[in-house]
Amino acid sequence: MLKVFTVSEMVAAEKAADASGATTYAQMMETAGKAVAEAIMDRYPVTGRSILVLVGPGNNGGDGLVAGRYLAEAGANVAFYLTKARDPQQDENFAKILALGLFAVEASFDQRYRVLRTRLAITDLLIDALLGTGVARPIGGELAKLLQQAATGLAARRADLAPQGARLTAVTQSPPKKEHTPSPRVPLIAVDCPSGLNCDTGALDPLALPADLTVTFAGPKRGHFIFPGAAACGELVVADIAIPPDLEVVAGVSVQVMTGDDARDLLPERPLAGHKGTFGTALIAAGSYRYWGAPALAAKAAYRTGAGLVALAVPEVIRATIAGQLPEATYPVVPDRHVLGRDSAAVLLQTQASALLIGPGMDNAAEFVAALLPEKQPLPPLVVDADGLNVLSQMSGWPELLPPNTILTPHPGEMARLTAVPLAALKELDRVALAQEKAQAWGHVVLLKGAYTVVGSPDGRVTIIPFANPALAVGGSGDVLSGVIVGLLAQGLEPYAAACLGAYLHAVAAELYPAQSGLLMSELADLLPDVMERLRAA
């Protein structure tokens, strides 16, 4: 998996790579700048296009100089606007653009930003190579004025290129489909991160220019996945700059981000000679007289993920209705009518299963959980969700009652109850650090749901799921997620892998939906096989 760096970890990695002789700072800058140019050329036409590079004083500006040179060599009309003077005798990359005869101007020679405004008025693509990852305080002084001018000029240029309003109004014509919506006419590409983004905290300066594409190096930074800064990054692309992964300072980075390659490698095998026993039995204890849908959603997701058999232990009052919706499942005959209780727990302890999920749609589940957990009989690999988590939060010493490496799937409200931290205060905490700390302290896998779900392992590893999609902000989303995870557990994945892969599949399935609202969670479950086949075929 790709490592996710703090700013200090990234600085240490670059320093170690240079000191080891594996790759020098100059080589890393050349590779980084070329990668920015390649990412741009993969997405936008550049031949004959006017490109303006905003060049800061440090290494980020150097990356921008390299990127601009490669774009010029590809046929673009590239200009450079420098915030500080650069000496071509000391700066090889600046000397190279001068040797190519490319236009460059220093801000100190640009009275009232006339040159900047003139260039922005003809710009087809803007590159932000001003500050990079080093921002730690508010932007002020001349740089603040420059960014204000850039924002104004960019908005004016985009307005000039935008389609003009029609004189005729089509009353009965439907709106265009999403795929026909044009991309920004003047894209903004950020080098490493939008200038003004704190790459540790996700804080975003009011003057920051939101990017359509961010090309970062070696690995994402923490701030790329923390709001409000995350919303300013646009598409995030990681470029390999040849920092060896086996360097101690790199190998020691505990936070990583899930990629499609990682997900494909974790997918359970589907042997041609397999049968339902090969793919495991997922036992789901869920539902109540008030919540009928959660068990069905979880079970459907477990089946769609590949479980061979799903056993649904639900109260008697809803059993027949759910069986009509999901005839593929089996239904252990539990004695409780309205909510699962002590007698139902006794039945489940005698039911054979490869993995167990408890919690979705349960109500007044304290008696059931209390009867299930303290028994000496070992439980199969366990997922606890929803009301199961709420019950745990009220039990003394609950981490010791669970099988090791139980998967806990709290949303922020449930996490607040588990940690006894007020929700308002919990929302201010670092989600990565919180999941990591509690997974280690509790000895269980913690999947903290939300925009950029975070999965923590008891061994200190943390994985970020790189999707934030409001289509998932709807009832039943967590039920589907827990069903996906128990389905993967049933097929033999170890808990941390099942949690990471489950969260990834769940998020990517939502990405296949063409809108940001209106997705039914039963539809989400139906998208899962397509996601898995796409990964296998990649």
Are 100 and 155 found together in one domain?
Answer: yes
For residue 523, with 0-12 CB atoms within 10 Å meaning exposed, 13-18 middle and 19 or more buried, which class applies? middle
Are 133 and 20 found together in one domain?
Answer: yes
Contact 313/347 with Cβ under 8 angstroms?
yes
Q: What is the model's pLDDT at position 396?
A: 92
Domain count, the chain: 2
| pLDDT classification of 177: cutoffs 50, 70, 90 | low
pLDDT tens across 375-412, in order? 667 899 999 999 999 999 999 999 999 999 999 999 99
Indicate which CATH number applies to the domain containing 439. 3.40.1190.20
Are 403 and 492 found together in one domain?
Answer: yes
* Domain final position from 223, 257, 291: 257
* Domain final position from 257, 286, 315: 257
Are 92 and 125 found together in one domain?
Answer: yes
Are 23 and 137 found together in one domain?
Answer: yes
Would you say residue 177 lies in a domain?
no
Are 249 and 298 found together in one domain?
Answer: no
Q: What is the model's pLDDT at position 378?
A: 86
Would you say residue 262 lies in a domain?
no
Q: What is the model's pLDDT at position 432?
A: 97
Does a cis peptide bond (omega within 30 degrees of 0) precede residue 403?
Answer: no
Would you say residue 413 lies in a domain?
yes
Are 407 and 457 found together in one domain?
Answer: yes
Bridging pattern class, strands 454-456 and 462-464: antiparallel
- Residue 71 CB coordination number (10 Å): 27
| pLDDT classification of 288: cutoffs 50, 70, 90 | very high
Quick one: what percent of the chain has pLDDT higher than 70?
97
Half-sphere exposure of 361 (CA within 13 A, CB side): 31
| pLDDT classification of 180: cutoffs 50, 70, 90 | very low
Tell me what the mean pLDDT of segment 179-206 comes to.
87
- Start-to-end Cα distance in the chain: 17
DSSP assignment of 91-159 = -HHHHHHHHTT-EEEEGGG-GGGHHHHHHHTT-SEEEEESSGGG--S---HHHHHHHHHHHHHHHHHHH
For residue 421, with 0-12 CB atoms within 10 Å meaning exposed, 13-18 middle and 19 or more buried, which class applies? middle
| pLDDT classification of 341: cutoffs 50, 70, 90 | very high
Q: What is the model's pLDDT at position 165?
A: 63
* Nearest of 466, 447, 468 to residue 456 by alpha carbon: 447
Are 308 and 238 found together in one domain?
Answer: no
CB contact set of 428 (below 8 Å; sequence gap of 6+) = none
* Domain final position from 257, 290, 306: 257
State the pTM of this model: 0.94
- Residue 11 CB coordination number (10 Å): 14
* Nearest of 424, 1, 50 to residue 251 by alpha carbon: 1
Bridging pattern class, strands 235-239 and 382-384: unpaired
Would you say residue 174 lies in a domain?
no
Which two three-digit tokens encode residue 393? 């939060």
Are 345 and 491 found together in one domain?
Answer: yes
What does the alpha-carbon distance between residue 454 and residue 466 come to, in Å, rounded to a whole number?
9
Would you say residue 503 lies in a domain?
yes
Would you say residue 170 lies in a domain?
no
Are 100 and 22 found together in one domain?
Answer: yes
Give the structural domain span for 16: 2-160+185-257
What does the alpha-carbon distance between residue 196 and residue 183 come to, in Å, rounded to a whole number?
24
- Residue 320 CB coordination number (10 Å): 10
More confident residue, 463 or 538: 463
Would you say residue 175 lies in a domain?
no
| pLDDT classification of 183: cutoffs 50, 70, 90 | low
Are 253 and 275 found together in one domain?
Answer: no
Indicate which CATH number applies to the domain containing 123. 3.40.50.10260
Are 207 and 235 found together in one domain?
Answer: yes
Q: What is the model's pLDDT at position 376?
A: 62
Q: What is the model's pLDDT at position 134?
A: 81
- Beta-bridge mates of residue 236: 214
Q: Left, alpha or beta for 245 (phi > 0: left; psi -120 to 50: alpha)?
A: alpha
pLDDT tens across 151-171, in order? 999 999 998 887 766 677 777
- Residue 384 parent element (H or E): strand 382-384
> What's the mean per-residue pLDDT of the chain?
94
Task: Tell me phi and psi for residue 199, to 5 degrees.
Answer: -80, 0
Would you say residue 178 lies in a domain?
no
Tell me what the mean pLDDT of segment 321-331 comes to.
94
Q: What is the model's pLDDT at position 185?
A: 81
What does the alpha-carbon distance between residue 82 and residue 94 come to, in Å, rounded to a whole number?
10
Please give the sequence-ordered ranges of beta strands (E in DSSP) within 192-338, or none if there are none: 213-217, 235-239, 255-257, 281-285, 309-313
